[in-house]
Amino acid sequence: MEKRGLEPKDCELIETARAAIAPCYDGETFRHTVGCALRCAGGKIYRGVNVYSLHGSCAEPVAIGAAVMDGARGFDCIVAVHGGDGRIMPPCGNCRQILSDYMPGCWVIVGGEDGPFKVRARDLIPFAYEAEY
């Protein structure tokens, strides 16, 4: 697994994710608790927040959907943060599979004992299911 340190533009991406969830964070009903920011190869950033319900959506697929609807391709880096305290959150198992399927080469910012770093989406889920399309 290749790990890389963060660049200034990655720190800006984290702040963009925090700004995405800040105005809609709902810690009482948990409807919106996670914010996400996705940077495309051209530098444009798309944001998303989770939509909590029995079959809700995580923030990462919401951001990916926003980018795709805008015609974006070539995903560079993605990060999710908790709305309550702003900490970086690793993708859940379902999101790891989505990221691995949809954009395996994309960098994913995760937290670590020595601070945040980034890894490739494909490295987040060993022995990932690979669908035949």
Let me know if 130 is a catalytic residue.
Answer: no
Instruction: Give, for 118, the enclosing helix (H) or strand (E).
Output: strand 117-120
The rounded distance, in Å, linking the Cα atoms of 49 and 63 is 7
Among the options 60, 113, 130, 132, which is catalytic?
60
CB-count exposure of residue 51 (10 Å: 0-12, 13-18, 19+): middle
- From the list 102, 100, 103, 106, the residue with the least C-alpha distance to 126 is 100
The rounded distance, in Å, linking the Cα atoms of 36 and 48 is 5
CB-count exposure of residue 50 (10 Å: 0-12, 13-18, 19+): buried
Residues acting as catalytic residues: 60
